[in-house]
Structure 1
C-alpha cells in the first residue's frame, strides 16, 4: 500500500514538472515579448530602424542598394515618362540651378508641370507635428494641381512619403556641412545676387535679432550663440532626410540611421553639390527618358550665365581655422551623414559609368 501511494505521488510530481516545463517554454517566448511590445514599442522600432540602416550601409558585389532590403530604390534605373519627380530641396545646395533646368525641360514639353510648395508658411503655434501635417496637406494640394505626367514637385520640405501616388521619384542634393551652414548664415542676413530688398527684409531678416545682423559667423561661433550651436541646427541635413517623425527633430543615433535608411529606401539618387555636373550625368544615366541632355544644358547655362555665382550668399566671410575646428565637432553627425551620401554617390557613378 505504501509503495503504491509512493508511486502515485512520484507520477503526480513528474506530471507537474512536465506541465511546468511546457508552460515555461511557451511563456518564455510569448509573455516577455508581449510585455516588451506593449511597453517599449517605440524603442524597439528605433532599434529595428538602426539595424536596417546598418544593413543598408553595406556595399557588396558592386551594388549600392540594401543587400537585405528588397524595396530599396537607390541607384535603380527608371524607364518611361509617366512619373512624378519629388525634389524636396535642401536650402543652399544649388537647387535653383536645377530648377532653372527643370524650366527648360518644361519649355521643351518634356515636363508637363513643375509645382512649387514655396511661399507656404507653417504657423508657428502648430508645433512641429502640426506644422508637418499642414505641410503634407500643402503637398497633397500640389499633387491635385498635376494633370499630366511627367511632372515635378519642388520645395524646401522634409522628406514626406507621397503615398497617394505609385512610385514617385525622389531626388536630392546635399552639401559639405560647414560650407552649407556658413552660406545659410550669410544668406539670411544679406541674401544673394537674386534677392530683392523686400524679400530680404520681410522673409530673411525677420528671424534674426537686429543686434546680430552684422555679426560674422566666426563671432557667432566663438560667442556660442544658439544660431551656431543648437544641435537642431547643426544636424539640419540629417534631420531633413530623416523626415517628419517628431524624433527626427532631435539629433540622435536613431535620427542618423533613419536618414540613411531613407536615402537607400526612397531616393533614386542623392548627389553632392561639390560635383554638380556628376549629379546631372547620373540623372541622365538612370532616367534617360526624362533627363537626356540635361548635363549639356547645364554646361551651356554655366558658360552663358553663371547661375551658381548669382545665387551665392553675399558678404560671405570664411570661417577661421579655430572656428572650423569647433564646428567640425558640432557638426559630427552631419559629416557622418554627408560621408555616407558621398560614398554612395561615388559608387553609383562608377556603376553607371560616369567619370569623376
Structure 2
C-alpha cells in the first residue's frame, strides 16, 4: 500500500508541475503581450501588434513597416551597414537600436520570447516614428508568437571570403564583446596561423562536412530549428529562400555594395533615403571594415571550400541574382 500511495503522490506531483508550467507559459505570453501591445504615447513606432494572419502568403498584412530588423550575418560587412543606419537615423527620423548580442545565434523558444520582450521595451520607450534594430541572430518568426513581423534586412558575402574573414578575425578578436550563455565553453586557442595550414591539417575549424552543424549564412535566413544549421541541407536552403522572398525586401551582397545601397535607397526609403550620397562622402572604400592584413585565400583552398559549401553557394547565387534584378528596375538620377 505504501508503494501504491507513493506512486499516486508522484503522479499528483507531476500533474501539479505540468499545470504550473502551463500557467507560467501563459503568464509569460500575457506579460509579453502587455508589454508589446500597449499604445505608444506618441502614436509612433508603437507596438508589434497581434498578427491578423501569420501565414507568409499574406505577408503584407503581417508586417509592421515602421520596424526594421537587421539580423546580421557575421563577417559580411554588417558593421558598415550599421554605421550607415546610425548616420541616417537623424535625417530620416528614425532611431537605430543595437540589441544585446550573444555568442550563440540560435535561440530556444523562451529566448525568442526574451528577444521579443527586449524589442517591445525599446518600442515603448521610444518616441520616434520608426525604429531599426540589429543583432547577430537567426531568423525569428515573430508571427508564430502572435506578433506582427518587422521588415527584415541582411547582407551576405562570398562564402569562401566569409570563412577566411572569420578565421583570421578570430586570431585578432577570439570573442568580441558578447554575452556568454550559461553552459557555454570558449573554444580552445587556435592552433594554426594560416588558413592553408589549418585546411592541410584537416582541423575541425577549417573542415566543412555535409550534415554537420555550422554557423554559416543560411541559418540567419532559415531559423532556429536544428536542420537550419546542417551543412548542405536542401530543406534549410529552401526555407531560407522562402523567408527571403516573404520577409526580406532587400538582402545585399558585400561584393556588390553599390547595387546593394541603391536598392536599399529605392526599396526602403524611410530608412535609407540618401544612403548613396552619405556612403560616397563618408566611407572611402567599399570594404570599410576589412582586415587589410588578411592573406589572400589560395586557389587550392578556395576550390576545396567551394566544393564543400554547395548550398551556401546556391543561396549566395540566388541572392546575387535577386539583387541584380532589383537593381535593374531602379532609375538612378544622372550624375
Instruction: Give the structure-2-normalised TM-score.
Output: 0.69
Structure 1 pair 186–118 and aligned structure 2 pair: CA distance change class (3 A): farther
Inter-partner Cα distance in structure 2 for 1:134 and 1:175:
28
1:20 equivalent in structure 2? none
2:81 pairs with 1:116: no
2:147 pairs with 1:170: no
Inter-partner Cα distance in structure 2 for 1:122 and 1:285:
33
Inter-partner Cα distance in structure 1 for 2:176 and 2:304:
32
2:80 equivalent in structure 1? 97
Structure 1 pair 260–153 and aligned structure 2 pair: CA distance change class (3 A): same
Pairing partner for 2:269 from 288, 304, 308: 288
* Deviation of 1:139 (Å): 4.0
Unaligned runs of 5+ in 1: 1-68, 192-196
2:287 equivalent in structure 1? 308
**Mapped contact 2:101–2:136 kept (Cα < 8 A):** no
Higher-RCO chain (CA-CA 8 Å, sequence separation at least 6): 1
1:268 equivalent in structure 2? 249
Inter-partner Cα distance in structure 1 for 2:147 and 2:92:
22
Q: Secondary structure at the match of 1:237?
A: coil
Which digits, 9 at most, give the CA deviation of each residue in 1:55-114, with x for residues without a partner? xxxxxxxxxxxxxx85467xxxx9xx9610010011111111111111112233621x22
Inter-partner Cα distance in structure 2 for 1:155 and 1:86:
8
2:237 equivalent in structure 1? 256
Inter-partner Cα distance in structure 2 for 1:255 and 1:210:
31
* Deviation of 1:329 (Å): 0.7
* Deviation of 1:154 (Å): 0.4
Inter-partner Cα distance in structure 2 for 1:343 and 1:122:
30
Pairing partner for 2:122 from 134, 145, 151: 145
* Deviation of 1:122 (Å): 5.2
1:243 equivalent in structure 2? 223
1:209-248 equivalences in 2 (<5 Å): 209-210=188-189, 212=191, 214-231=192-209, 232=212, 236-248=216-228
2:167 pairs with 1:185: yes
Q: Secondary structure at the match of 1:168?
A: strand
Inter-partner Cα distance in structure 1 for 2:247 and 2:85:
21
Q: Secondary structure at the match of 1:108?
A: coil
**Mapped contact 2:151–2:249 kept (Cα < 8 A):** yes
**Mapped contact 2:152–2:249 kept (Cα < 8 A):** yes
Give the number of the structure whose alpha-carbon radius of gyration is greater: 1
2:280 pairs with 1:299: yes
Inter-partner Cα distance in structure 2 for 1:181 and 1:101:
24
* Deviation of 1:181 (Å): 0.8
1:334 equivalent in structure 2? 312
* Deviation of 1:354 (Å): 5.5
Inter-partner Cα distance in structure 1 for 2:175 and 2:227:
35
Name the structure where helix makes up a greater proportion of residues: 1
* Deviation of 1:186 (Å): 0.6
Unaligned runs of 5+ in 2: 1-55
Pairing partner for 1:317 from 284, 287, 295: 295
Quote the RMSD (CA, aligned, Å): 3.2
Instruction: Give the structure-1-normalised TM-score.
Output: 0.66
1:159 equivalent in structure 2? 139
